[in-house]
Amino acid sequence: MNYTLYKKFGAHIKKVNGVTGVSFTLWAPNAIKVSVVGDFNNWDGKKHYMDRDIKTGIWSLFIPYLNEGTVYKYMIADKNHKIFLKSDPFAFYSEVRPNTASIVYNPFKTFPWEDSIWLEERGKESLYKKPISIYELHLGSWRRHYNRGEGLEDGSEFLNYREIAEKLVPYILETGFTHIEILPLTEHPLDTSWGYQGVGYFSITSRYGTPEDFKFLVNECHKAGIGVILDWVPGHFCKDAHGLYRFDGTPLFEYDNEILGENPTWGTANFDFTKPFVRNFLLSSATFLFEHFHIDGIRADAVSNLLYLEYGREKTGLKNALGGDAKLEAIDFLRTLNETIFKLYKNPLMIAEEATSWPLVTAPTYKGGLGFNYKWNMGWMNDMLKYMSYSPCERERNQNLLTFSLMYAFSENFVLALSHDEVVHGKKSLLDKMSGDYIQKFDSLRMFYGFMFGHPGKKLLFMGGEFGQFIEWRYYEELEWKLLKYPQHDSLKTYVSKLNEFYKSEPALWSKDSTPDGFQWINHKTHTQKLVTFIRKTDNPDDFILVVCNFTKDEYIHHPIGVPRMVEYEEVFNSDKNIFGGGNQLNSEIIKPMNRDLDDQPFSISINIAPLCTLFLKPIFKKRGN
């Protein structure tokens, strides 16, 4: 295992015999000739041939007097004497699309990091017992210089990483999220892929500036106490001619077996994890991101595509050595990846986007797990978005969609993700998914967010969801920030901000996310009322929160609910407050307990709750000396 291949491969500025130049190193074992070409030699493949190590298939060449900023590619001749140009798989910087050449860049030069306090604090405490609320964003469409749609090929429509930092950091502080998660920034040729079909696994995309500019963004986030997670795609890559596909004229990075190597679902190629170099290539990419950009975690995209031989394809009869459908070599890679990252870095976030019921995704590898520490809860997301799209009368027949997630909520460490995938391709925006009229959609979305923050699991919300973008996400234009001029949208943003702050302040909502003793149903069976109540707990029996969610359009006045303790209660958060855009139906007075059992609880209280509302109640112990 080698997780620092980037120290040897690629283009490195060196001094040889007193002369400064660039040393190029490339793996292309099946090529018959390789040369380095660029502006410095008029792209003439006959001027700078590389030397080959026959045993390893590694080509190398030192070219004197080249400097940082040199534009280059590799000219490769395959065994059939076909000649083609390839970008450097280990390039540390690349031309702005649509240009595809690599650029000599020194990733090891000193950067004035100021995030030592953040990194030290990150390493002190387990993430399982901390609040995590993630703002997922696509840098190219969060904010823009222009809003003209696609067509500008010089990148001028995009904000620079430094400009993004200037706007994004105060926005995240205002809205209260603990982390940002950025759609893939590894270099990719096509904006339409959103970064999920890459070519440069060591090259932070030049669309938004230089690697130093991106370091600046991470540094500013960390100084402000904001974590940074990057989406990362270890399963497949794009088939563009300048990229990894058929790199030396043969299936080098992808499987030799075309059935395994081709990915018909996305029109991409699958990495071949039977090859040690490919495994080390990806392992090195992950460690490079942590080491050189100080990121706090990665979300591994499309993990299901790695786990199964026949995922996303028609049945082919493919079987592993044990006769099953599991892709054993990819599973071994994922375990090695997680073991390596957790060994090298303190308390990283290693998050799997895994859409099946594969067991033990977030279990340690020594227990037979894949070794991630979090997994997106795709089941909860699908069930709840379907449930929220139903009218209240339809919800009565589909109550299982609301409650089923608690049957498996503690089988993994989950992130409740309302991601970019749910607001594209005709699925509607989150706000537009809600049933009802204009006002009811806002009420429903606030109530849904409240239920989400009460439900066990860390949180993730895609950009635009915090202020209720009505149209679907469009990667080619910025968010509809003009909507904040309208009271309902601005009030929703205020609500999400306050909900985040409330969530972070209440350990009962996050300290026991992954253990069943942190959750208790009070009532989830009254289908006709569609009013659910449950408790979130801490290790302190006096520190718990009662969550009440009204999924109906009916108002409940003096409505009794069961409670576990004979103490007074107070309302501490309510989605119906007028500052959030609601009708201000509150429980302003202290709520007195009654010595009457209800909902399988020994005591009860009487509350008021508005239609389509979530409220949070807390027992009063310290104030009354109990």
| Vertex 203: Cα angle to 198 and 209 (nearest 5) | 110
- Peptide bond between residue 29 and the one before it cis (omega within 30 degrees of 0): no
Residue 84 has phi, psi (to 5 degrees) of: -150, 160
| Contacts of residue 494, Cβ cutoff 8 Å, sequence gap at least 6 | 579, 580
Q: How far apart are CA 592 and CA 256, in angstroms?
A: 71
Q: How far apart are CA 465 and CA 431, in angstroms?
A: 8
Q: Do the beta carbons of residue 523 and residue 562 sit within 8 Å?
A: yes
Q: Among all residues, which ones are annotated catalytic?
A: 301, 353
Instruction: Identify the CA nearest to 538 among candidates 519, 565, 561, 563.
Output: 519
Q: Is 351 helix (H, G, I), strand (E, B) or coil?
A: strand
How far from 458 is each of 179, 507, 511, 577, 624, CA to CA, in Å?
11, 12, 10, 25, 32
DSSP state of 111: -
Three state DSSP letters for 209-271 = CCHHHHHHHHHHHHHCCCEEEEEECCCEECCCCCCCCCCCCCCCCECCCHHHHEECCCCEEEE
| Vertex 390: Cα angle to 386 and 393 (nearest 5) | 140
DSSP element (H, E) containing 450: helix 438-454
Three state DSSP letters for 113-143 = CCCHHHHHHHCCCCHHHCCCEEEEECHHHHC
Q: Which residues face 128 on adjacent strands?
A: none
Q: Do the beta carbons of residue 315 and residue 262 sit within 8 Å?
A: no
Q: How far apart are CA 364 and CA 287, in angstroms?
A: 19
Instruction: Identify the CA nearest to 249 among candidates 43, 35, 82, 54.
Output: 82
Q: Residue 197 region, left (φ>0) first, then alpha (ψ -120 to 50), else beta?
A: beta
